[in-house]
Amino acid sequence: CAASVWRHLFQNLSSDLSPARPVAFWACGTVQLDKPAGRAGDLTDTLAHLGFPSEWVRAVDRDTASQLANMPLSRGGLYFPSGMRVRPDVLVDQLLDHPGIVRLTGRASTLTRAHGRWQVGDATGGVLAEAAHGILATAADTPELLAASGLLEPLPVLAAMHRLAGEVTALPASELDGGPACVVAGEGYVLPALDGQVVVGSTYVRGASETQ
């Protein structure tokens, strides 16, 4: 299945380490905090309803969550032992260098279905690539590409996509006692330290391509 393919790929990437090859990701765990009291939605109840395996995610109280994060937290939530701290720029570079991935250069203008396969076309009508399955990783350009392909009308959720610019702040890890031991997420998030810096974020601006 797709999950096993990706697991195999990531295992290969994580085993191919050298001083000249920076680490793109590492498993540190993630604590997802419950919403503040009085807010709708209880993560523990949601978890019980969904019935996910405990080795993938489990409910934790405030004390356990604080121990996992190695920092005081105001409430408990869910803990994902396999949660990762990822460096997207490094990960993308390593994926593009992987022998199982071929990169083609071009500008996609249409997506059509022909002979049981998806075809990506350019502005001249040429076919850039085709495959049995496709993934659109086109961010805010997705509605435009789908509309040009006659595929947007039955997908109202995608039609409502909008730009959402996020802001992050890098703080000296020393100011946060070295930073958390795992990812801590809630209404914002705090990441484990990297190169002496702790990244935190929570602010978003709707309809903007960037924030200052």
Q: What is the pLDDT of residues 42-66, one digit of tens each?
A: 788 888 888 899 999 999 999 999 9
Q: What is the pLDDT of residues 181-202, one digit of tens each?
A: 999 999 899 999 999 999 999 8
Name every residue whose Cβ is closer than 8 Å to that of residue 87 and which is 6 or more positions away in sequence: 22, 23, 24, 25, 194
pLDDT tier, 40 (very low <50, low <70, confident <90, very high otherwise): very low
pTM: 0.75
pLDDT for the residue numbered 145: 95
Q: What tokens appear for 156 in the block? A: 């109202």
Q: What is the pLDDT of residues 134-185, one digit of tens each?
A: 999 998 899 999 999 999 999 999 999 888 888 889 999 999 999 999 999 9
Q: What is the pLDDT of residues 98-130, one digit of tens each?
A: 887 888 999 999 999 999 999 999 999 999 999
What is the DSSP code string of 133-198?
S-----GGGHHHHHHHTT-STT-HHHHT---EEEEEEEEEGGGGTT--SSEEESSSEEPPPBTTEE
Average pLDDT over residues 21-25: 81
pLDDT tier, 7 (very low <50, low <70, confident <90, very high otherwise): low
Give the residues across from 58 on adjacent strands: 79
Mean pLDDT of the chain, nearest integer: 87
- Least trusted range by pLDDT, from 36-45, 85-94, 111-120: 36-45
